Chain A
Amino acid sequence: MRLLRYDKLPTLTGLVHDSTLRLAVTGLSHSGKTAFITSLVHNLISAIQRPARLPFLRAAAEGRILAARVLPLGKDAIPLFPMQKTVSALSGDPPHWPPSTTDLRQARLSLRFSPRGFLGGRNPIWRTASTADVTVEILDYPGEWLLDLPLLCQSYEQWSRAMFDLVRRGGRAPLACDWLDFLARHPADGADDPEAAFLAHNLYRTFLAACRTSEQLSLLQPGRFLSPGQMADPSMLWFCPLPLSIGGQVRPRSLAALMAARFETYKRDLVQPFFLQLARDVDRQIVLVDVLRALNAGEEAFADQRLALDIILGAFRFGRRSLLRRLFGARIDRVLFAATKADHVPALQRDHLEALMADLVEAPSLRAKAAHARTAATSLASIRCTEDDTDIIEGRKLDVVVGLPEGGEKRIRFFPGIVPVRPPPPGFWGERFTEFPVFQPPRITRATEEGIPHINLDKALNFLLEDTLA
């Protein structure tokens, strides 16, 4: 006889509240996406045992999150976020940072909670009976991929000219010498030699990598050259911009024609499907920005990061969620801009970091607000590695942070400089500071009861999930 499982039947509350929320975690490389997702999942699960871990997340603080579990692969077959691996890295001895995001991944978390209001309640019996489930799907991908959005409405000629305008300016120019020398020997209207195209691509990619590592630049196109991810045919990447004359036509069977064909294939087969998926699937977005590193890297890096952010945020459609809009593609109704590595600045300066973040994204915030989406800016450390302290620097008592550097045995005190509350004027920039410390993460236990120390993760989650868990 088949038994009817009453506990599997949806409750009235469940029918009203059950939902799926898709959260996009956006950020350029080393902005802290992997750490954010790991900390989010681990802390939400730990909040059931220890609500004190997330005091600003109302549902957790009120003890309304009843259960949380990581779900297996979803229907859309996006590879799973390697939660086990990241937790292993953080629970190792010594603990170390998990590897960065290199491809599209998804973490799926199911939360059972007790809603507030007439369908929820304080009575424990009624609370148990009136539970609801929400599935939080967290989409993780290299933020660099979003830099390819403008490519969709550019021809190869237009893109090449735009890139050469950039290459000839600031810190990029000296790094591009090898690549430009090679191009000087292989003109654009020369023969369509695949070997030459491949070598030119490699040199261009090396140039982009150097821009990122030595100049801390962010606007590096195409995004997949530095974070390729998995693809069936890597040869579709073997192109690079070429110096083309204004108004000149690409000669058939030339090197430029070969590059242009690969550029179009790249757009059609990689860029377009990714953006279509993104436009369809995202309800909420958190944009993680390593403002502090760019600030210390100098004026050019800071301006470049701002430009890259503008491009990235142009990729998303903002607006209030509605049934009608769901039918024609989801819209993002809440965007949180988070300045990461907040544990690298002492408490008093975190307000400055937050204000600077808000100023940096003022234009996209206004665009989102105009579309009736909610936006906010915060400072955030998904995994807190430091403690605040004070030290005497140049005769002044200043707040510093103390932590153990990764791979080191002795603690260091780090003074991050004075963080300005708005983009600084030209006179502010001094010598670049590139020895930005990497602190060892705290060692966590594999058991989820303890959670992971953080700064403002609970505020971020409250902003992103508040209405879903209400």
Chain B
Amino acid sequence: MTIETEPIQERLRPRILQTEETGRLDLNVGAEPEANLPALPTGPSHSPISVAATGLAILVIGLVGIDLADFISGAFAHGAALGMVAATAVAAGCGGVGYWLAAELRGLMRLRSAERLRSMIPSAVSSELKREIDAAAKIVARDPLLGEAVGRFHAVLEPHHTGRDALELFSRFVLAPADRLAEAAIRRASLQAFTINAISPTVLLDTLLFAARAMRLIRQIAEVYGQRPGLAGTVHLLYRLASGAGLVGAVDLAGGIIVQQLGGAVVERLSASAAESAYAAQKMARLGIIAMALCRPIDFRPGEAPSLRRLVAGLLKPGPDKSG
């Protein structure tokens, strides 16, 4: 229970204030609010690394810009038509790079936005909490498969609901289906990791294929939660995954040990190779759970995180489908 203010010793008297407003209130369930994208944080970063990176980027852009300007002026020296072609080619190239950079930046910002929300929600007071959850809903709504779930959430959320109510409804109506989609993706990836390990002829190939599938899984999970990371976003996610794995790994530690020890031991009796494959599937599932915890706009509450045992045990169980 969230108690946000201390009771005031000297009680402020109750009172009735007259107004000039007339007419009944419309207390019916409101229409679904429009799902605009949340405003992204635009605060500047002043860390030494970012200042150095900015300087280097300016240097590279400057060098490339001067070279391109030379290239265009050289082309114009050979004739106006050639100059126009060179300028158009350079403009197209710059546009393409700019578009790619913008997409990368947008993906990264979305990721950061989700991370910011996750850090703010545990300490948010009731009124802030509703705002943060609304922002989280808008992030998740980017996943076309979850648009309907977000719509249902907006349909049930009423103005009188408190922040805690909104969190509960968001978990129930939006995050639960999103979690199911993510779990299905993890199961598929785990099954493929099992197969890759079983059939790959060399350890190197096995490792490369496992890494590629893990990367794809992380991106799939990020997409489930509406983040669609680009290259920079994926790198950021991998960095967070590496730094947060120890912390988040505790989520499934108990389940993991049981599966690893009991499941591994049983399977090992049947085949050492199959045991290795089972272990690879388990590693993939563990990675997926950690990625879920990182990409979810709201942290798992007690009892919400999927257990490794359930994911690995349900490898052959069909789940809600998502391409990939």
Binding site for B on A (CB under 8 A): 50-53, 55-56, 61, 296, 343, 347-348, 350-352, 354-355, 384-388, 391, 393-394, 396, 398, 400, 402-404, 409-422, 424, 427-431, 433, 435, 437, 440, 442-443, 450, 453, 455
B26 to chain A, nearest CB (A): 8
CB-defined contacts of A411 to chain B, threshold 8 Å: 19, 21-23, 25
Question: When chains A and B are docked, how far (Å) is the Cα of A457 from the Cα of B27?
Answer: 15
**B16 & A435 in contact (Cβ 8 Å cutoff):** yes
Asked if B316 CB lies within 8 Å of chain A CBs, one says no
Of the candidates A350, A398, A415, A442, which one forms a contact with B162 in the assembled complex, judged by CB atoms under 8 Å apart? A350
Of the candidates B10, B14, B29, B160, which one forms a contact with A388 in the assembled complex, judged by CB atoms under 8 Å apart? B160
CB-defined contacts of A450 to chain B, threshold 8 Å: 28
Enumerate the 7 nearest inter-chain pairs by beta-carbon distance, A residue then B residue, closest first: A55-B156, A417-B14, A453-B27, A413-B17, A420-B7, A411-B21, A52-B156
**B16 & A414 in contact (Cβ 8 Å cutoff):** yes
Q: Could you list 13 examples of A-B contacts with CB < 8 Å?
A: A348-B162, A352-B7, A385-B25, A387-B25, A388-B159, A400-B17, A402-B21, A409-B22, A413-B16, A415-B15, A417-B12, A420-B7, A424-B11
A156 to chain B, nearest CB (A): 42
Using known A-B contacts A61-B156, A351-B1, A387-B159, determine if residue A430 contacts B25 with beta carbons closer than 8 Å.
no
Using known A-B contacts A350-B162, A418-B8, determine if residue A387 contacts B15 with beta carbons closer than 8 Å.
no
**B11 & A417 in contact (Cβ 8 Å cutoff):** yes
**A393 & B12 in contact (Cβ 8 Å cutoff):** yes
A384 to chain B, nearest CB (A): 6
**A351 & B2 in contact (Cβ 8 Å cutoff):** yes
Of the candidates B3, B159, B161, which one forms a contact with A352 in the assembled complex, judged by CB atoms under 8 Å apart? B3
Of the candidates B3, B5, B11, B27, which one forms a contact with A442 in the assembled complex, judged by CB atoms under 8 Å apart? B27
Question: When chains A and B are docked, how far (Å) is the Cα of A291 from the Cα of B315?
Answer: 53
Asked if B34 CB lies within 8 Å of chain A CBs, one says no
Asked if B9 CB lies within 8 Å of chain A CBs, one says yes
CB-defined contacts of B8 to chain A, threshold 8 Å: 418
CB-defined contacts of A396 to chain B, threshold 8 Å: 12
B157 to chain A, nearest CB (A): 8
Of the candidates B14, B156, B168, B169, which one forms a contact with A414 in the assembled complex, judged by CB atoms under 8 Å apart? B14
**A347 & B156 in contact (Cβ 8 Å cutoff):** no
Asked if B46 CB lies within 8 Å of chain A CBs, one says no
CB-defined contacts of A420 to chain B, threshold 8 Å: 7, 11
**B20 & A424 in contact (Cβ 8 Å cutoff):** no
CB-defined contacts of B152 to chain A, threshold 8 Å: 52
**A417 & B13 in contact (Cβ 8 Å cutoff):** yes
Question: When chains A and B are docked, how far (Å) is the Cα of A155 from the Cα of B47?
Answer: 83
Q: 5 additional contacts, CB 8 Å, given A347-B126, A388-B159, A442-B27?
A: A52-B152, A409-B22, A412-B18, A424-B7, A440-B24
Nearest residue (CB) in A for B21 is: A411
Chain B stretch 279-299: residues in CB contact (< 8 A) with chain A = none
Question: When chains A and B are docked, how far (Å) is the Cα of A418 from the Cα of B5?
Answer: 10
Question: When chains A and B are docked, how far (Å) is the Cα of A347 from the Cα of B163?
Answer: 9
Of the candidates A347, A393, A429, A443, which one forms a contact with B15 in the assembled complex, judged by CB atoms under 8 Å apart? A393
Asked if B127 CB lies within 8 Å of chain A CBs, one says yes
CB-defined contacts of A56 to chain B, threshold 8 Å: 165, 168-169
**B1 & A413 in contact (Cβ 8 Å cutoff):** no
User: B22-49, CB under 8 A of A: which get 1 and which 0?
Assistant: 1111011100000000000000000000
CB-defined contacts of B159 to chain A, threshold 8 Å: 387-388
Of the candidates B4, B12, B19, B126, which one forms a contact with A412 in the assembled complex, judged by CB atoms under 8 Å apart? B19
B8 to chain A, nearest CB (A): 5
CB-defined contacts of B20 to chain A, threshold 8 Å: 410
A337 to chain B, nearest CB (A): 14
CB-defined contacts of A443 to chain B, threshold 8 Å: 24
B159 to chain A, nearest CB (A): 7
Asked if B172 CB lies within 8 Å of chain A CBs, one says yes
CB-defined contacts of B169 to chain A, threshold 8 Å: 55-56
Of the candidates A354, A387, A394, A402, which one forms a contact with B19 in the assembled complex, judged by CB atoms under 8 Å apart? A402
Asked if B225 CB lies within 8 Å of chain A CBs, one says no
Of the candidates A398, A404, A418, which one forms a contact with B11 in the assembled complex, judged by CB atoms under 8 Å apart? A418
Of the candidates A355, A431, A453, which one forms a contact with B3 in the assembled complex, judged by CB atoms under 8 Å apart? A355
CB-defined contacts of A416 to chain B, threshold 8 Å: 14
**B126 & A348 in contact (Cβ 8 Å cutoff):** yes
A458 to chain B, nearest CB (A): 9
A181 to chain B, nearest CB (A): 36
B301 to chain A, nearest CB (A): 16
CB-defined contacts of B164 to chain A, threshold 8 Å: 351
**A413 & B19 in contact (Cβ 8 Å cutoff):** yes
CB-defined contacts of A61 to chain B, threshold 8 Å: 156, 172-173
CB-defined contacts of B57 to chain A, threshold 8 Å: none
Asked if B61 CB lies within 8 Å of chain A CBs, one says no
Question: When chains A and B are docked, how far (Å) is the Cα of A282 from the Cα of B251?
Answer: 42
**B25 & A343 in contact (Cβ 8 Å cutoff):** no
Question: When chains A and B are docked, how far (Å) is the Cα of A343 from the Cα of B27?
Answer: 12
Asked if B58 CB lies within 8 Å of chain A CBs, one says no
Question: When chains A and B are docked, how far (Å) is the Cα of A409 from the Cα of B156?
Answer: 30
Nearest residue (CB) in B for A459 is: B165
Asked if B120 CB lies within 8 Å of chain A CBs, one says no
B275 to chain A, nearest CB (A): 32
Asked if B92 CB lies within 8 Å of chain A CBs, one says no
Asked if B85 CB lies within 8 Å of chain A CBs, one says no
Question: When chains A and B are docked, how far (Å) is the Cα of A398 from the Cα of B14?
Answer: 11
Using known A-B contacts A55-B156, A61-B172, A412-B18, determine if residue A421 contacts B7 with beta carbons closer than 8 Å.
yes
Using known A-B contacts A343-B160, A417-B11, A428-B9, determine if residue A442 contacts B18 with beta carbons closer than 8 Å.
no
**B14 & A410 in contact (Cβ 8 Å cutoff):** no
**A412 & B17 in contact (Cβ 8 Å cutoff):** yes
Nearest residue (CB) in B for A413 is: B17
Asked if B155 CB lies within 8 Å of chain A CBs, one says yes
**A421 & B3 in contact (Cβ 8 Å cutoff):** yes
Using known A-B contacts A352-B7, A393-B15, determine if residue A347 contacts B23 with beta carbons closer than 8 Å.
no
**B29 & A52 in contact (Cβ 8 Å cutoff):** yes
Question: When chains A and B are docked, how far (Å) is the Cα of A384 from the Cα of B25?
Answer: 10
Nearest residue (CB) in A for B127 is: A348
CB-defined contacts of A427 to chain B, threshold 8 Å: 9-10
Of the candidates B2, B10, B25, which one forms a contact with A402 in the assembled complex, judged by CB atoms under 8 Å apart? B25
Nearest residue (CB) in B for A386 is: B25
CB-defined contacts of A347 to chain B, threshold 8 Å: 126, 160-162
CB-defined contacts of B18 to chain A, threshold 8 Å: 410, 412
